[in-house]
A = this chain, B = another copy of it.
Amino acid sequence: MALPDFTLSAGPVTVSERTRAALARPILYHYDPEFRAGFARTQSKVAEIFRTKNDIILMQGEAIVGLEGALRSLITPGMHVLNLVQGVFGKGTGYWIKDFGAELHEIEVAYDDAVSPAQVEEYLDAHPEIEMVCLVASETPSGTVTDVAAIGPMCRDRGILTYIDTVSGVLGMPWETDEWGLDLCVAGAQKCLGGPAGVAMISVSARAWEKIYANPAAPRDSYLSLLDWKEKWLGEGRFPYTPSVTDMYGLESALDQALEEGVDAVVARHRSAAEVTRAGARAMGLELWAVRDEIASACVTSIRVPEGLDNAVVRDHARAVYGVMLSHGQGAGNLVRLSHMGPTAGGLHSIVGLAALGRTFADLGAPVDIGSGLDAALDVLSAQNA
């Protein structure tokens, strides 16, 4: 099968030419002075997009290596943890919390909705034993977001630790690690940043380090260990294991591009692309997945697959006939996602996605008004640039 003309996936995303050129750079020895300096610079740049003065740990692997390593580091047996569930990743966090030996509390809503700050406040009022709150800032599989700006400070003010899965959150929504008092945040490079898939970016507050140091169950001498990175790399300048030189090149390049554009501008670009996409989908007669726009993600627009169609068939058709690779819901429901993430957030990329999806639905027999949809999307895009 030919390569797709367009990859509009929910991660790994299409990356820029400049990032790809960085990925092709000659591989240095990880103890080459140039590589070591670059690794340190990259940490600082991650801190800038996280807007934090906390330590930054860059673990080699998909973001999930950071999520697992961090959660294992924080959880002590018997500890009471409140987990917010509004999608498949939040649900999975809960399984881990239990596996790792904590007492699990959960607030769960439907996967097209979001847990509200009021629900959290009420629960915390009623359960003073809660020591940590876990949440997924952006549920990529279903395209909804959680109100971290409200819940973060609420936890900080109560002295409750926060563990935040912001894999597709950072740069896809306003993000203020320090202002919001977030203790442990894990982001992925292959989402809104438009970087490679092989690095987990983690910010750890002093309070979180205290907790981790006090935790005898925190991984040490392990691929999952945050402490190894803290002590060996941050402490002594030795890598606990060989980092992926190539991924670090790509990561620094993607960070440079984001910082040159400006963090706020990147966030705004994702929001604008989401507006164009939602307007187009609605005018086509399609139903959005998120129950209201306020909780719709800016990095993916989830669309309910019309009655009678299977999302796998839909995506295969769009890929085979129109050369556009779209993402499915990873178990969140019968939805398909038009992603506008990283370099494909902006410009006519939303039109490409809408055209491929609309025409695919039409080919498969679903009623859809493609022309009106593309017209409406272009109207919004035009107005944004007026």
Contact = CB atoms under 8 A, between A and B. Distances in A.
A12 interface: yes
A11 B363 CA distance: 34
A68 to B, nearest CB: 5
Interface in A218-271: 221-224, 241-247, 250
A26 B196 CA distance: 11
Which secondary structure characterizes the binding site on chain A? Answer: mixed
B9 A29 contact: yes
Contacts of A6: 348
A28 B5 contact: no
A255 B339 CA distance: 33
Interface stretch (A47-55, A59-67, A107-115, A145-153): A59-67
Counting contact residues on chain A (CB < 8 A from B), the size range is 35 or more
Interface string A1-20: 10111110111111101001
A375 B378 CA distance: 14
A347 interface: yes
A359 B242 CA distance: 29
Interface in A58-87: 60-65, 68-69
A56 interface: no
Interface of A: 1, 3-7, 9-15, 17, 20-21, 23-34, 37, 60-65, 68-69, 95-96, 99, 190, 196-198, 221-224, 241-247, 250, 319, 321-325, 327-328, 346-349, 351-352, 355-356, 358-359, 362-363, 370-375, 378, 381-382, 385-386
17 contacts: A1-B37, A7-B28, A12-B27, A29-B325, A30-B197, A32-B325, A60-B62, A60-B197, A62-B242, A62-B244, A64-B241, A196-B246, A198-B244, A351-B351, A362-B378, A370-B378, A374-B374
Given A10-B29, A29-B327, A61-B65, 11 more contacts: A3-B28, A20-B24, A23-B24, A64-B241, A68-B222, A196-B246, A247-B247, A358-B378, A359-B381, A362-B378, A371-B371
